[in-house]
Amino acid sequence: MLAGRSPQQQRTAERTTQQSKRATSDRPEDQVRLRVFRYDPGVEDKREPRFDEFVVPFEQGMTVLDALIHARDTFDPSLTFRHSCRQAICGSDAFFINGRQRLGCRTQIEGLSEPIQVEPLPHQDVIKDLVVEMEHFYDQMKAVNPYFQTEQKPDDALEEQRQRPENREKIKMSTRCIWCGACTSSCNIASGGNYLGPAAINTSYRFLMDEREGEEIKQQRLETMEEEQGVWRCQTQFSCTEVCPKDIPLTQHIQELKREGVKQSLKFW
């Protein structure tokens, strides 16, 4: 490793080399090759980032997470990565797979070129192997108060707070966010500063556009979006929308919040 080069820079250089060599898979039908990023600052001989290759048995319907679990349980118990529900609900297993942010549990082995290269999410500090530091991401999410706040409650404590079907339809996609961080990892703007990022902005959209939300908190949310690190930092790259595993139209939501900010400023509506 070159002096002063970070683990992220090291794996970027490795990835560039490998992508130039990678071709369509011609693997035997009963096995799959994984090339997994390794880094452990707590062990002296593992502090230099590298890639390890594993050959695991292939079964129809196998996911990248399945292959990683097999590699860990069979070949190397020190291989470290996050996972939980294995149903694309928890958002724990977001990785950089063959040059794209994806959920390991949702990414089918079938159709991927080999060796399948699995890396930590870019633009995040690596803790160990495929595990990245998520505290900054969570701080961004917390900054937009990610919970429902209303000013008017039904008189009857047992009565639900009703929402029109068309309003529910409007915010439906925004509610699918599972806090995996894939979108923020794909965003070049989010990588270099305090920009809230697409996930946090989408969360703000989910509540700001909910007709049951209180007017005062809506105004506060809109003011937050209008700040320097809010929606106007977005450069409309669409990378967040492209990698979202829940198909949330993140770029569209960001643009809608920009429009709401303009409307608020001009007072034409």
pLDDT at 32 over 70: yes
Q: Model confidence over 81-105: pLDDT tens digits?
A: 999 999 999 999 999 999 999 999 9
Q: Which two three-digit tokens encode residue 214?
A: 């209180």
* Residue 75, φ and ψ in degrees, nearest 5: -110, -40
> What distance in Å separates the CA atoms of residue 12 and residue 113, rounded to the nearest whole number?
18
pLDDT of residue 23 exceeding 50, the answer is no
pLDDT at 267 over 80: no
Main-chain phi, psi angles of 135, to 5 degrees: -60, -40
Smallest CA-to-CA distance from 33 within 9, 1, 56, 2 is with 56
Cα–Cα distance measured from residue 252 to residue 197, given in angstroms and rounded to the nearest whole number: 14
Domains of the chain plus CATH, in order, are 7-132 (3.10.20.30), 135-150+163-266 (1.10.1060.10)
C-beta separation of 161 from 154 below 8 A: yes
Give percent of the chain with pLDDT exceeding 90.
Answer: 75
pLDDT reading at 256 higher than 90:
yes
Please give the pLDDT value at position 263: 84
Phi, psi dihedrals of residue 52, rounded to the nearest 5°: -110, 145
User: What does the pLDDT read at residue 225?
Assistant: 94
pTM of the predicted model as reported, rounded to 2 decimal places: 0.84
